[in-house]
Amino acid sequence: SQTSTILGAELGAYLSQHLTGHITIGLGWGDTLSKALPCIVPRQAEGIRVLSLLGGLTRLSSVNPSEFAWRVADRLAAECHLMTAPVFAPDPSTQEALRHHPGIAEIYSRARMLDTAIVSAGALTRNSLFYEYGLLSREEIASLEAAGAVGDVLCHFMNEDGEIIDHPVNERVVAVNPADLRGAREVILVSGGWHKIKAISAAMRLLQPSVLIVNEHVAERLALSGP
């Protein structure tokens, strides 16, 4: 969408201006973040490390988290750490086993001490990416709605107060808990669109971002609603 393209360009410009060498960057996923790629000025700064903060899709798409992290790392000539697992495990015990895999456990550990975390908020709708790419069934999406979910950050579903809800889907997700990103020196939240107002507001409560990139109408609405 045009909104995603504009916000992605703003993110790309921000990163091009502010990134330095010897930093660790954690990345989420989504169409808006992917739109930043062409706008990130390639560089050869030393010591940049990129972490994908969530597992990948088993069906290839333009917004596959692993692909996005690899492409960002390529533009920054950075070392890349991928969460080489499906973003949703079939059950909690498999999720637990994957989390303790040495390479994946290292990402979880490093994610608590990032220099920069870049994430987006997703709205929970019946036609969301989760359903489109076969990650969740319509029944699971309806169950999340019934449990009070308004959206997600890093595929962790949250209520309007920015709390990760107690739900079986959240017990299967192979992704860093967004609350763990609060230890980052800088958290950048990038999202836009009327349909994401509740999700963005909840994500702000959850993440307490230091940089917010949204479209004008969302910014006005958030300013009116207050903290």
pLDDT at 63: 65
Q: Is the dihedral of CA 204, 153, 132, 91 positive or negative?
A: negative
Each residue's pLDDT expressed in tens, for the chain with a length of 227 residues: 799 999 999 999 999 999 999 999 999 998 899 999 999 999 878 999 999 999 988 766 666 777 889 999 999 999 999 999 999 999 999 999 999 999 999 999 999 999 999 999 999 987 777 887 888 998 999 999 999 999 999 999 999 999 999 999 999 999 999 999 999 999 999 999 888 999 999 999 999 999 999 999 888 887 877 65
pLDDT at 60: 60
How many Cβ atoms sit within 10 Å of the Cβ of residue 33? 26
End-to-end CA distance of the chain: 28
pLDDT at 226: 61
| Residue 13 burial class via C-beta count within 10 angstroms: exposed 0-12, middle 13-18, buried 19 and up | middle
Contact 189/120 with Cβ under 8 angstroms? Answer: yes
User: CA torsion, points 5, 88, 154, 161, in degrees to nearest 10?
Assistant: 120
pLDDT at 130: 86
Pair of tokens at residue 16: 């091009």
Residue of 133, 107, 118, 123 whose CA lies nearest to 157: 123
pLDDT at 64: 72
Contact 143/137 with Cβ under 8 angstroms? Answer: no
- Rounded to two decimals, the pTM is 0.94
pLDDT at 30: 87
Pairing of strands 186-190, 116-119: parallel
